Amino acid sequence: MYLGLDLGTSGLKGMLIDAEQNVLAIADAHYSVSNPHDGWSEQNPRDWIAAVEDIFAKLNAAVPSKMSALKSISFSGHMHGAVLLDKNGDILRPCILWNDTRSAKQAADMDNQTAFREISGNIVFPGFTAPKLAWVQDNEPEIFLQLAMVLLPKDYLRLWLSGNNVMDMSDASGTSWLDVGRREWSSDLIPASKMRREQLPALCEGTDITGNIRSDIAQKWSLPKSVKIVGGGADNAVAACGVGVFREGEGFVSLGTSGVLLAARNGFHPAPQTAIHSFCHAIPDAWYQMGVILSATDSLNWLSKITGKSAAELAGSVNAAAPSSVRFSPYLSGERTPHNDADIRGAFTGLGIGTETSDLAQAVMEGVAFALRDNYEALKSTGANLQSLIALGGGAASQYWVQILSDLLDLRIEVPKEGAFGAALGAARLAMIGAEKANPIDVLNKPEIAKVILPRSKFQASYEDAYQKFTMTYPKLKAMQ
């Protein structure tokens, strides 16, 4: 039996699978995000530990005989978060999350040093880990002086489960401290951000065994003492493992809280000027590139709060055959790809006296799709050649939304059959690969596909025209700031 733990921004999912990858049980636990100031996003790492214990309790109650045969555990986790520990392993402050933008100045200062882009292969974004530490040094120097170890969120779970400070390559790629091409910590970038090598954990591949479960945890939850803890990876890399995306030409689009367009790559092809992320994959000798928009379904959730209608109700109200005359720029939390702008904010244009809620919903869904088309153009400029995409995330339940994307990207999009796939399954698969020393090719198969969405040629011209108008919006919004 193999357990995948998917540490998300709002909750933890645990998925138990057997050697044939049958899903035996799934459990969820939830926790909150704190936003004490505008642009801040924090979480208490102790809440993650409580969530793991909740998961163990639920799985033990559901399938006790299966849990007693558990062989390994691995992880998926939200990237870039900074968990700061002192010399005793105690937490110094709440974790600063991936969508926290307070360190925009520090990120810009680092990005102006040519070594960061040249060695890491990426822009230093405000959400990355290194500028968060620079912000702490500038604004909370008493905490920075006590700093002994920096971990990413999922790796704090690893520390609690095994007692080992280890980080995998895919997650380390988003710190701005990794030489992503060489898959090793950079002796130049670490001191350039006023950090020391001993403040960073050991590195591993996502399929490596990094230790065994602590005996006291095994005893408490009636688990074998031989349970292996396997590397795991960053959420999108592990989601790619969950849907079998690891070869050149394969990719997925995720309509989740944020939006992601990911392309698997056989080599390292950095192009930081595009604001595309170029990261190590969660399996050895593989990389991936992705564009990220910060507000995908979050944009629809925002509209839901404003209108009092559920996101599902809003999405269901739209069934238009042509693009809306209302335009929406989905920059509610700033934007990553392609603009790298933490300060830009969203807008509606084209509103009229007759504009209705359904028009706003359509504009929001189209705006997200247009922003993902921006990502696609940036990906293509790096040499990525996607043949088709798999659709993931809650927004993929809307055939209308996926169809717009297919029309705009001119790509076949496959929607998996409802059920278990994505990051939790990917983590369980990594646990299996690590424990069994299996070949990833034999484990990372693709999910069963429920429907295939093809581009509609008769609508592509109108969506192309709408997209070109959308591209003119950002510079005008920027000029008004």
Where in the sequence numbering do the catalytic residues fall? 235
- Please compute Rg for the chain using Cα positions: 22
Three-class secondary structure of residue 138 per DSSP: helix
CA-based nearest residue to 289, from 339, 255, 246: 246
Environment class of 261 (CB within 10 Å of its CB; exposed 0-12, middle 13-18, buried 19+): buried
C-alpha 99/C-alpha 94 separation (Å) is 14
Please give the backbone phi and psi of residue 281, each rounded to the nearest 5 degrees, phi first.
Answer: -80, 170
Burial string for 431-442 (b: 16+ CB within 10 Å, else e) reads: bbbbbeeeebee
Q: Where are the beta strands (DSSP E) in 37-143?
A: 42-43, 72-77, 83-85, 95-96
Three-class secondary structure of residue 393 per DSSP: coil
C-alpha 443/C-alpha 279 separation (Å) is 22
C-alpha 71/C-alpha 24 separation (Å) is 14
> Could you tell me if 85 and 94 are in contact, meaning their C-beta atoms sit under 8 angstroms apart?
no
CA-based nearest residue to 63, from 29, 30, 17, 21: 17
Omega prior to 323 cis, within 30 of 0: no
> Could you tell me if 106 and 112 are in contact, meaning their C-beta atoms sit under 8 angstroms apart?
no
Cβ neighbours of residue 470 under 8 Å, at least 6 residues apart?
Answer: 327, 329, 367, 370
Place of tokens 């031989």: 226
> Could you tell me if 155 and 167 are in contact, meaning their C-beta atoms sit under 8 angstroms apart?
yes
